[in-house]
Amino acid sequence: MTNERTAWGWGLASIDAAGNTLDVWYPQLTLGAAPEGANRPNHEFGALAQPQADARGVRREPVFTVSSLDDPIADAADAYLRLHLLSMRLAQPNTLNLDGIFAKLTNVVWTNYGPFAVEDFNARKLDVESAATSAVRSFAASAGLPAAAPAATVNVLSIDKFPRMIDYVVPSGVRIGDADRVRLGAHLSEGTTVMHAGFVNFNAGTLGVSMVEGRVSQGVVVGNGSDIGGGASIMGTLSGGGKLRNSIGEHSLLGANAGIGISLGDNCVVEAGLYVTAGTKITVWDKAKAAAGEPLDVVKGADLSGKDNILFIRNSVNGRIEARYRKTGIELNAKLHKN
């Protein structure tokens, strides 16, 4: 009897001339123990598998990957499997061992022709454009089209270790305004809308219906019915080497251009433009104390982290940051999030 968590599946790996794995695409993954030998299903990649390198200098090989989800990441194929699990909603953020993932991934030139190695990109770009342009003009000639058919162009989308999520996983019930702003490994629940300025990192995302117009950093989860306003920011765990994982509960609002370095509980609001960190001095509003002329309590932001029913505001008269009791949470437009 074992408590080891595993997942497995066939992936199609892109491998460059130096033998580096640029990416792996898993159309389907299964949780649980992997079948042995003859019981293992065949991959269905067919002609997509290319043992000979193409004009990019990349060959595409089927790989059968078994991942022990609590153990350190073994290699790039294992890393891609775990990222797929998150975007396929087979695992929630912060439930997989992703330690050291950057060291297992290769920096890649992501293009409309797929991944390229960084080192020989210029030469390979020339090879791809020459071959593609020849093919286009040959087709044009055979079809009786003008000889001056447009040349094919390799468009660089980014240079990064992580690709766009939707090139690998397209989750149901989700709207994404700008695909470049959602990394593979993002977890988007049904009913989530990521607007054009929104960003969702890997190992982060939503746990229910949500509006994302700001930045959801690595390790951050947003609860059902919550709204991340335009330009808003949530501190993640990557910058500064921090270990604290911030989150937002249900039916809460992070106002436009606001930010938090603490967690919000349920039914909370941070007013637009206000940034609350763990060290921020916050005055806790108490109506009875104020009426009696008694001093109000002042606490650090960390003392209110994760607590429910709080409105965070900056008093426009005296400039102090205040925490006030809020009875109910926000309500999102149900029609807007029926994707």
Instruction: Give the residue numbers marked as catalytic.
Output: 213
- Which residue type occupies 104? K
Q: Rounded to whole angstroms, how far apart are CA atoms 73 and 87? A: 17
Q: Count of alpha carbons within 13 Å of 147, Cβ hemisphere only?
A: 0
Indicate the pairing of strand 233-234 with strand 215-216. Answer: parallel
Cβ partners under 8 Å of residue 126, min gap 6: none
Task: Output DSSP code: residue 103.
Answer: H
Residue for token pair 């640029």: 22
Side-by-side strand order, sheet with 199-200? 199-200, 215-216, 233-234, 259-260, 275-276
* Contact (CB, 8 A) for 266 and 260: no
245, β-bridge pairs: none
Give ∠ CA 306-311-312 in degrees, rounded to 5: 85
